[in-house]
Amino acid sequence: MKSAGIVVEYNPFHNGHLHHILQTKRITGAEVLIAVMSGHFLQRGEPALLSKWARAKMALHSGVDLVVELPYYFATQKAETFAFGAIALLHELGVDSFCFGSESGDIKTFEKTANLLEEQNEQIQNEVQKWIKTGISYPKAQSLAMKNVLKDVSLLDTSKPNNILGLQYIKAKNRLSPDMKAYTIPRQGAGYHDKQPNKSIASATGIRHSIFHPNGVRLDGVKPYVPNATFTELKKYLSTFGVLHHWELYWPYLQYQLLSAKPKELQSIYEVEEGIEYRLIEAAHQSTSFQQFMESVKTKRYTWTRLQRMCVHILTHASKEQMAAESDYPSYIRVLGMTSKGREYLRNVKKTLQIPLIAKASAYRNLLTADIKATNIFAMGLPSNKRSALLNSDLLFSPVIIP
């Protein structure tokens, strides 16, 4: 079976994602489509709106044949590590090609930039460190370093979020699976951060902005911008649990962690560096909401995204030692859901897999420690009388099956 892979978060699945799926199948000729999807906490350091099983169901109803989870150790990391983990899983699953959305839409520009970065890596990294010492963020420092070192070369615009991720996909592909074919399609409609829709396509950011209305959660406004399966799942989740997940639901737990921990304890948490633990503790004393807390601690050096990821790691007690030990390479393939075609594909490749394939998690709980912990903390965002439905669900739930 000819296969193609995509890397997704689906927070939530919308019409732009459906366009991506249809175009991926068209340009790759794939008979089976495999999605590597983040779990309950996402690359930008946010809790997902809905559980990973609900999001997997959205994907399977909209053209994906197999959904596997990107482990916590990769899903909540900077672009380079996130992309490496995702491409590694597609490599392990033996996919023939993968396709990603980008602002550029030109795969040759990605490949040219990746090759030049490899050739000039040492000089660029030295330049990055010089810029970081001026107090700017790493992404900005990297963009400036590339411009300085590769002055007269027409390169990818790495100020755009999807271009940044796409470049890391290509670098990971070159390192792990050179024979895997890469494709990119231009993003349609609203931009990544846009809060206003463009015709029938709105960004996930815009959809979440519309959902979380000042007067409460509202779904009707997003109906034109999501497939029916997504709208149905959003309504069902909200009806069942009473909430869609967002950071303010976790603020009491984060504040407790910050107020009860000693600075030295926070220093052991991944991404807590350069004495920022003192700033975090001070802001926790003075803030009454997550929004206020973030506005208090944000600086040019520490972007909103980097701080959110830091907060996720504080919630999950993810230590520097743990993250360093586990983020070298994925150690398992966790199946979240599949169609009959996805099941057939797994049967065909199962004997060639080099890492464990996990459908029922109970026998692999030692491998899934971080994902289980992330799920249980995610469940704490639900009302107290609803949490039991998600607590320990990693060990209790089977993959979603769609005929």
| Strand-pair partners of 238 | none
Residues annotated within a binding site for ATP: 7-20, 101, 162, 187
Which residues are within 8 A (CB) of 369 and not within 5 positions of it... i.e. 6 or more apart?
Answer: none
CA distance 393 to 53: 10
Closest listed residue to residue 246, CA positions, set 277, 204, 280, 279? 204
Residues annotated within a binding site: 7-20, 101, 162, 187
253-289 in b/e form (b: 16+ CB < 10 A) is ebbebbeebeeeebeebbbbeeebbeebeebbeebee
